[in-house]
Amino acid sequence: MKDALTELLLTALAKLVDDGTLPEKPAVTPQLDHTKDPSHGDLATNIAMVLAKQAKRPPRELAALLVAALPPNSLIDRTDIAGPGFINFFLSQASNTQAIRDVLAAGDQFGESNIGQGRKVQVEFVSANPTGPLHVGHGRGAAIGDSLCRLLTATGWSVHREFYYNDAGQQIQNLALSVQARALGKTPEDPDWPSDGYRGDYIIDLANAFMAQESVSAADREITASGNADALDDIREFAVAWLRREQDADLKAFAVIFDEYFLESSLYSEGAVEQAVSALERNGHTYEDGGALWLRSTAFGDDKDRVMRKREGGYTYFVPDVAYHLNKWQRGFERVINEQGADHHSTITRVRAGLQGLDAGIPSGWPEYVLHQMVTVMRDGAEVKLSKRAGSYVTLRDLIDWVGRDATRFFLSARAATSQLTFDVDLALSQSNENPVYYIQYAHARVCSVKQKALGLGGDWTPEAGLAHLDSLQESEALTLALTLGRFPEVVAGAAQRLEPHDIANYLRDVASELHSFYNAHKVIDEAAREVSLARLALLEATRQVIANGLALLGVSAPESM
């Protein structure tokens, strides 16, 4: 719809260039916006104000010339010149209801596009180390990252979902020592409990499973415990697999899947870390000082230079990260998006600096980052800080257990990632009009119910039959809704382009609201008025489809009854 109107405007502009009103072909394509106020029409453009200066005419006069130059068409009912020089377009009834045809024709593919043209993009998200259950921050990352993947897929990208973790570092050593201590009957209160040990109750379960020689299989590994409490390597390996399995269970409950799990340890074992370091040395971006090897990251915009190899020999944490990203680049991902908590934002400059220093032809803004701010959980009017199981933090599993998967996903992805998020457990739990998830799902279920009733009448009481009578849709509520449905592809494309899944949640709120308004104002099934009834049925089915498609992008279910 927007595109068709843009074409008309371009034709009109070309005509004005021909007759000398405009000195040259405008460099910008006209901007068309959906209006907030119905008295401003359905779509509006500010192009006359933008071009007023070079046309050397007042905006309103230019607008009038532009309107006069519009080719004849069936899209526009009438136009209006308003305010300082806006051109308002009032769409024809047929344009308004076109979306209904489009939706029913495309079905669950409505909203999709081929903007990505099949190009590869890798999205790394969650990337939790296997030292404990996933916390709410990981949950936010999982919800946002997964929705980003769905949005990118819907817009024609070939998406690779990756989870990166460290299975061999100091934190894992602390984990193994903690499990061993539990296996030997110690508690965190004992004086010889490992310093920096993990204190959560899950360590007890883990130790018991190890001693019972249990077998565990996670998405990317499986192992049987030796049950030998003296064998720290055995414990380490088992603990990692056990926690990976735990995390997989949580991710599965959250409907989040990955194509690949990438181990930090593999970067060492396959020499990728050493190769990256040598390349940086060879390119002259390093120097030694105080027994350590430094990266001259200030040459790439960092505040200060960073230590790469510590005096005692080990590499600092960002070095394998550089090697990892070089690996991503070498795998052919010219586009990479990392979704992570904002508390790690300081690594961005370092990793990019390291990548630049490799002289591997990597663009300076690569990879892209989506950072989410912190989540605080509120319940009964107070902040919840502890989980029984994990001890020091609220887990993703806690949230799912409390409010269910749909509400958890919706709440975690319905806000801009850049905003701190307050997760109100009581609100997410309420089965009432207070809860936006139910509000949207209710709209879907309501349509399903009406559709069932219509289909029960037999004959041609189907949404498809209504397509022949769309011109009988005349009420403002119906036309408003139809126009909103037609915006869905733009909304999806915009959310994917800006990497902002919360746009979808906001849009669905609007759709549900307009559906409910229409529904309350007009009876859908009236056997005495077949044509308009069938047309309304088609409108409802199109609405249902758009809600289902939108919820799918958020990983939220679209129930037929509630």
Which residue's entry shows tokens 């690569």? 366
Which residues 342-361 are close enough to bind RNA by CB under 7 A?
342-347
* Minimum CB–partner distance for residue 342 and RNA (Å): 5
* Minimum CB–partner distance for residue 169 and RNA (Å): 4
Q: Which is nearer to RNA, 517 or 557 (CB)?
A: 517
Report the relative pairing of strands 336-341 and 120-124 from DSSP bridges. parallel
Amino acid occupying residue 465: A
In angstroms, what CA-CA distances link 179 with 206, 232, 380? 7, 9, 35
Q: Give the chain's count of helices (H) and strands (E).
A: 21, 17
Which residue's entry shows tokens 């139809």? 482
Which residue's entry shows tokens 């994917």? 496
Q: Going residue by residue from 259 to 298, which x/- string records binding to RNA, judged by CB under 7 A?
A: ------------------------------xxxx------
* Minimum CB–partner distance for residue 212 and RNA (Å): 30
Q: Which is nearer to RNA, 241 or 537 (CB)?
A: 537
- The DSSP string of 496-510 is HHHT-THHHHHHHHH
Omega before 367 within 30 of 0, i.e. cis: yes
* Minimum CB–partner distance for residue 28 and RNA (Å): 11
* Minimum CB–partner distance for residue 75 and RNA (Å): 17
Other CB atoms closer than 10 Å to residue 520's CB: what's the count? 9
* Minimum CB–partner distance for residue 528 and RNA (Å): 12
Determine if 498 is a binding residue for RNA (CB under 7 A).
yes
The count of residues in the chain is: 562
Q: Which is nearer to RNA, 26 or 160 (CB)?
A: 26
Give SS3 for 51.
helix
* Minimum CB–partner distance for residue 208 and RNA (Å): 27
Contacts of 73 (CB under 8 A, 6+ apart): 8
* Minimum CB–partner distance for residue 492 and RNA (Å): 13
Q: Which is nearer to RNA, 339 or 424 (CB)?
A: 424
**Cα 264 vs. chain centroid, distance in angstroms?**
25
Which residues 531-560 are close enough to bind RNA by CB under 7 A?
560
CA atoms in the 13 A half-sphere facing the CB of 71:
13
Kindly tell me which residue out of 4, 68, 521, 529 binds RNA, with binding defined by CB under 7 A: 521
Applying CB under 7 A, which part among 111-119, 235-243, 337-345, 357-365 lies near RNA? 337-345
Contact 419, 373 (CB under 8 A): yes
The sign of the dihedral angle between the CA atoms of 10, 12, 15, 20 is negative
Q: Which is nearer to RNA, 7 or 383 (CB)?
A: 383
How far is the C-alpha of 464 from the C-alpha of 454, rounded, in Å? 12
Q: Going residue by residue from 445 to 474, which x/- string records binding to RNA, judged by CB under 7 A?
A: xx-xxx--x---------------------
Which residues 100-139 are close enough to bind RNA by CB under 7 A?
129
Determine if 371 is a binding residue for RNA (CB under 7 A).
yes
* Minimum CB–partner distance for residue 350 and RNA (Å): 9
Give SS3 for 432.
coil
CA-closest candidate to residue 369, choices 332, 300, 418: 418
Q: Going residue by residue from 393 to 432, which x/- string records binding to RNA, judged by CB under 7 A?
A: ----------------------xx-xxxxx-x------xx
Q: Which is nearer to RNA, 39 or 185 (CB)?
A: 39
Applying CB under 7 A, which part among 213-221, 265-273, 354-362, 368-376 lies near RNA? 368-376
Determine if 54 is a binding residue for RNA (CB under 7 A).
no
Amino acid occupying residue 52: A
- The DSSP string of 59-92 is HHHHHHHHHHHSPP-SSEEEEEEETTTEEEEEE-
* Minimum CB–partner distance for residue 419 and RNA (Å): 4
Q: Going residue by residue from 178 to 217, which x/- string records binding to RNA, judged by CB under 7 A?
A: ----------------------------------------
Other CB atoms closer than 10 Å to residue 292's CB: what's the count? 16
Q: Which is nearer to RNA, 500 or 541 (CB)?
A: 500
Kindly tell me which residue out of 114, 520, 527, 528 binds RNA, with binding defined by CB under 7 A: 520
To the nearest 5 percent, what fractions of the chain are helix, strand and coil? Answer: 50, 15, 35
Q: Going residue by residue from 294 to 333, which x/- string records binding to RNA, judged by CB under 7 A?
A: ---------x--xx--xxx-x-xx----------------
Q: How many of the chain's residues bind RNA (CB under 7 A)?
A: 84
Which residues 57-96 are close enough to bind RNA by CB under 7 A?
82-84, 86, 88
Contact 243, 207 (CB under 8 A): no
* Minimum CB–partner distance for residue 41 and RNA (Å): 7
Sheet bearing 336-341, strands edge to edge: 260-263, 158-165, 120-124, 336-341, 368-372
How far is the C-alpha of 538 from the C-alpha of 466, rounded, in Å? 5
Which residues 499-518 are close enough to bind RNA by CB under 7 A?
500, 502-503, 506, 509, 513, 516-517
* Minimum CB–partner distance for residue 238 and RNA (Å): 20
Applying CB under 7 A, which part among 243-251, 273-281, 367-375, 479-487 lies near RNA? 367-375
Kindly tell me which residue out of 1, 16, 32, 46 binds RNA, with binding defined by CB under 7 A: 46
In angstroms, what CA-CA distances link 331 with 148, 220, 324, 420? 21, 20, 11, 34
